[in-house]
Structure 1
Amino acid sequence: MKSGINIVLFYVDGHSQIVPSGNEPLGLEAPIDVRYLILKTALHINEFCGIRFMLRSCPRLEILTIDIGPANIFLEYGAPYPFNPHEFWSENLLVEECVTTTLKAVNVKGFKGMMNELQVLKYLLHFGHAMEELNLCVSNEAGSNGETREFYMERAQQVLQFNKASRNLSIAIL
């Protein structure tokens, strides 16, 4: 199966930047000076490698916004390297530099407390030594199995129990 990185356009200090296509599974050859990153994602397992790629490519990242939306599943997608999606954020892990040193704030929009969301948050909280705030904006959408906002709020409460690397962390559930 063919895989690679597609062209991604983003803005740095008001100027657009382009990440070129190519087979670069671990990160860009030269890091990019991004301090604020918005990821529009479903946090589907097919997106894990791309999320790790962006975190690794942004070693000075200070604010990460995860805007959770519907999944666009590409059946022909193949991960650029073998991985177990259930252990991706916890086993044999090389932690990204930004997570341990510069990431101060994480905002999650559309939080439903699904397993993949909880795995990513566990990783960020467990290794986020510089984190000062985590803001969970709970989804108002009804789930496919009848889940309600109250259900999502209960899931958000679980995040309060996760191990946290930062002593200065404030968690808001909105």
Structure 2
Amino acid sequence: LPVPRAMSGIEARRRVLRDGASIRIVFGVSTPTDTGTVTVMIPQRILLATRGATAHSGEDDQTGDWRARFSEEVMRSTVRLEATMPLARLTLGDLDGFQPGQVIEFEEHAHAQARLSARDRTLFVCEFGKLGQNYTVRIRHPFDAGQDFIDGLIPG
């Protein structure tokens, strides 16, 4: 790889890395008289460029095993889901006139236009319902941001 000369001290501190996404590895180095760190930055573009070369060198089983473990950990992580239902289109003047205890009417098909989201990102279009004493959310289809944008342009 074409690697530039190593930097240290003040030169390294004032240098701004502008190579995009990268990984950073910090090594601690110590001697009987002093300690310090060595930081290695590897740009993502270099990692991706060498990915194909290592796949054919017999490391495929190790990479697959690592990916399986990583995917398993990701799939077990928890996220908070939020289901929201559109009530109505109102003006700011209408909102200003709200009073405590006021009842807001739902639009006719509001329960069928619910959106399920996680971390402020809409994932599915759903509909609210009730099963016995429990409220439910039924997934109708994945959320399509492009279609939602088009639907927002045309008043319904």
If the TM-score is normalised by the length of the shorter chain, which range does it land in? Answer: under 0.3
Report the TM-score when normalising by structure 2.
0.24
Report the TM-score when normalising by structure 1.
0.22
Structure ID, larger Rg: 2
More contact order relative to length (CA 8 Å, sep ≥ 6)? 1
Structure showing the higher helix proportion among its residues: 2
Structure showing the higher strand proportion among its residues: 2
